[in-house]
Amino acid sequence: MSNIVAIVGRPNVGKSTFFNRLIQRREAIVDAVSGVTRDRHYGKSDWNGREFSLIDTGGYVVGSDDIFEAEIDKQVELAIDEADAIIFMVDVETGVTGMDEDVAKLLRKVDKPVFLAVNKVDNNKRAEDAVEFYSLGLGNYYTIASINGAGTGELLDALVEALPEKEEVVEENLPRFAVVGRPNAGKSSFINTLIGEDRYIVTDIAGTTRDAIDTKYNRFGFEFNLVDTAGIRRKSKVKEDLEFYSVMRSIRAIEHADVCLLVLDANRGFDGQVQNIFWLAERNRKGIVILVNKWDLVEKDHKSVKEYEKAIRKQVEPFTDVPIVFISALTKQRIYKAIETAVEVYQNRSKRIKTSELNDVFLPLIENYPPPAYKGKFVKIKYVMQLPTPQPQFAFFCNLPQYVKDPYKRFLENKLRDNFGFTGVPISVYMRKK
């Protein structure tokens, strides 16, 4: 489990620039999602070998400044509750503002590491001006310029030093299924339906994430841990529909799971927030099953399932090889099918394919459809193997890896899916120098 670090502060102090700077260094290498760059307010970063998840709270608040006043307090309170460390960013150009003082007041009460980062300090004069931020009562500050990265090294050194060590919990090797989705999509009813009529629950283990509850589930010959984000205690101060809230909740559950059961309300459809959670699971390379709940309440004609499915697949391109199950937690319709599908996806995610088998399939295929020549140079792919990682990753060894572009990698990915069945699982395809 990686630690969560939240960046808070009022608008336009440079939070997003700083955020992008931290994740790009790594996302460019590890998390590049083929053909998809979506709105990113969540990413992974590492420094000196310590990995952490980073959340840019600013990205979740849209609206005018007065709406923002109220929202920013909620954001900060949430960050205080959920994150392991907080970076509070202020702007040397505008100096200390009333809103900064409000945020500082909330942060002074916290017994988590808080780092005050004074941004836009790119010359000596400004470094002197930064002194006034002592008045916020948060002790020492770090001067940085997120636009060019100046000073971020010292800030990050101090940050990773202060992050609590997450104890790795050694558990029996049961698949972990997380039930995620926006509030009120029916996650609780889905879990209650599964568990309610079920007398074989072995134990409730309080999850290592200090709020998701794991239920060991044993039924119809399947045994797995169910990570329930729905039953997490609600914060009285948080409005249910705050997007940041459900994303924050989902991050913990998703990072901790093998397969995510993404529950959505059939009447609301696959909206922005559900998509956010979907891409979160995809970027973390988890298995995904989409469960369209409350299907019993939808007006249907003979083609509604097909139409509905088509609309969802359109929105999750290019990762369309995802199972979609129409369920009703209320009438128990296809609940068993949902679990069966999750088990299949789990098996797909842990599938190992022999190197000889891969080469037998791919070498003739590549010969018939080689990568397009680039600047008159021909790419020759000699050999392919699966990497020894928890999720499916494949290395294709060739003479000029830098000339193989995304469309061809997607072609290879689709052929892997066609030949070996990886439904519901993100696949990574790497080109390596032979």
Q: How far is CA 130 from the centre of its chain?
A: 35
- 433 forms bridges with which residues in the sheet? 398
Cα–Cα distance for residue pair 322/324, rounded to 1 Å = 6
Q: Is 293 annotated as a binding residue?
A: yes
Give me the numbers of helices (H) and strands (E) for the chain, helices first please. 12, 16
Choose among 261, 423, 274, 286: nearest CA to 339. Answer: 261
Q: Is 153 annotated as a binding residue?
A: no
Q: Is 182 annotated as a binding residue?
A: yes
Q: Is 13 annotated as a binding residue?
A: yes
DSSP notation for 46-111: EETTEEEEEEEGGGG--S-HHHHHHHHHHHHHHHHHH-SEEEEEEETTT-S-HHHHHHHHHHHT--
- 46 forms bridges with which residues in the sheet? 51
Q: Is 419 annotated as a binding residue?
A: no
Q: Is 407 annotated as a binding residue?
A: no
Choose among 409, 417, 413, 355: nearest CA to 379. Answer: 409
Q: Is 241 annotated as a binding residue?
A: no
Q: Is 225 annotated as a binding residue?
A: no
Q: Is 300 annotated as a binding residue?
A: no
Q: 389 phi and psi, to 5 degrees?
A: -115, 165
Q: Is 245 annotated as a binding residue?
A: no
Q: Is 121 annotated as a binding residue?
A: yes
Tokens for 376?
């008159």
Q: Is 228 annotated as a binding residue?
A: yes
Q: Is 234 annotated as a binding residue?
A: no
Q: Is 221 annotated as a binding residue?
A: no
Q: Is 10 annotated as a binding residue?
A: yes
Q: Is 12 annotated as a binding residue?
A: yes
Q: Is 137 annotated as a binding residue?
A: no
Q: Is 109 annotated as a binding residue?
A: no
Helices (H), 256-393: 272-283, 304-315, 335-349, 355-368
Q: Is 56 annotated as a binding residue?
A: yes
Q: Is 318 annotated as a binding residue?
A: no
Position 120, amino acid: K
Q: Is 166 annotated as a binding residue?
A: no
Q: Is 346 annotated as a binding residue?
A: no
Q: 140 phi and psi, to 5 degrees?
A: -65, 150
Q: Is 424 annotated as a binding residue?
A: no
Q: Is 28 annotated as a binding residue?
A: no
Q: Is 7 annotated as a binding residue?
A: no
Cα–Cα distance for residue pair 6/2, rounded to 1 Å = 13
Q: Is 188 annotated as a binding residue?
A: yes
Q: Is 39 annotated as a binding residue?
A: no
Q: Is 276 annotated as a binding residue?
A: no
**Residues that constitute the known binding site for GTP:** 9-16, 56-60, 119-122, 181-188, 228-232, 293-296
**Residues that constitute the known binding site:** 9-16, 56-60, 119-122, 181-188, 228-232, 293-296
